[in-house]
Amino acid sequence: MLEVRNLKKYYQLKAGIFKKQVGFVHAVDGISFNVKKGETLGLVGESGCGKTTAGLTILRLIEPTAGEVFFEGKDIFKATKKEMRTFRRELQIIFQDPYSSLNPRMTVYDIVSEPLKVHGLARKKNEKTEKVSQLIKKAGLSPHEHMHRYPHEFSGGQRQRIGIARALATNPKLIIADEPVSSIDVSVRAQILNLLQDLKKEFRLTMLFISHDLSVVKHVCNRVAVMYVGKIVEIAKTKDLYNNPQHPYSEVLLSAIPVPNPKIRRKRILLRGEVPTPVNPPLGCRFHPRCSYAEPACEKVEPKLINIGGPDEHLVACHLRK
């Protein structure tokens, strides 16, 4: 369905009166993964590791520095403007912030109907109104009560439902969900996650689910890819990753998940030092300055992402797993 090969996104750093170039921010630095038809792949990692940048670059909402992205065998990065419009119908995004992603001057009807208008999917007004009503209803809102209101009249959870309805308007094949519940009250997160699960089955969606909340990822994803400072360090089935993480960074992330039982105490793994800057990332393995298992080779040679799980495809980039 979706295949990402050696994707890179660098941002130039400039300084001084004449804006002299002084370096690059290695936001996404050569990541490769695939999303199979009908599955949900979780992309996880701490803030600033490049998750959101990867999602936006895949959709060409920001242009890549290098790499290839194939959707159903077609290279998105080589598509013309006309071809990209076709891709836009089949690739949609649910943005992280439900407050800034909706135009405050547009009603819910205008917001949800805009993709239909742009792609010519409902030319008659009655047809458009009926389609918008169905989408709003499927997103868990009332068409009669909410269709002609403005975004400021809704809560964060309701706004995210509007964003979901907009993403579904073109009947896409793949949705990138960029931390869709991180800006929402804890009390309504489960409702939004269950809604996404139900809509995925109904519309037969494939999903790239970006999040830093490992509890959420465990609930909704079939496989998980772990990112650290612009690199993917591990990819595995959700059950395999949570039960038997192979990369030291994955172990650290999983040890931080709260256990909802005061009688059970999980040993927390504490890291030394700070997260490296993406402006000047460490040589070799990027995790080695903070890794308690680091060997001399980790400081000089960057580990490749290799399969250590046979047909189950448990991929890990670590010199300890050979």
- Calculate the dihedral angle through the C-alpha atoms of 103, 135, 74, 201, rounding to the nearest 10 degrees: 130
Report whether 289 contacts 282 (CB < 8 A): yes
Q: Would the pLDDT of 260 be above 90?
A: no
Which residues does residue 236 pair with via DSSP β-bridges, in sequence order?
A: 224
Q: Would the pLDDT of 303 be above 80?
A: yes
Q: pTM of the prediction?
A: 0.90
Question: For helices 156-168 and 108-118, what crossing angle results, to 10°?
Answer: 20
Work out the average pLDDT over 75-84. 88
Q: Would the pLDDT of 267 be above 80?
A: no
Q: Cβ contacts of residue 204 below 8 Å, gap of 6+?
A: 38
Q: How confident is the model at residue 311 (pLDDT cuts 50, 70, 90)?
A: confident
Between the two ends of the chain, the Cα-to-Cα distance in Å is 29
Q: Would the pLDDT of 268 be above 80?
A: no
Q: Per-residue pLDDT tens for 172-218?
A: 999 999 988 887 777 788 888 888 888 888 888 899 999 988 888 88
- pLDDT score, position 76: 92
- pLDDT score, position 277: 86
- The per-residue b/e assignment along 253-262, b for 16 or more CB within 10 angstroms, e otherwise, is bbeeeeeeee
Q: How confident is the model at residue 263 (pLDDT cuts 50, 70, 90)?
A: confident
Work out the average pLDDT over 151-161. 90
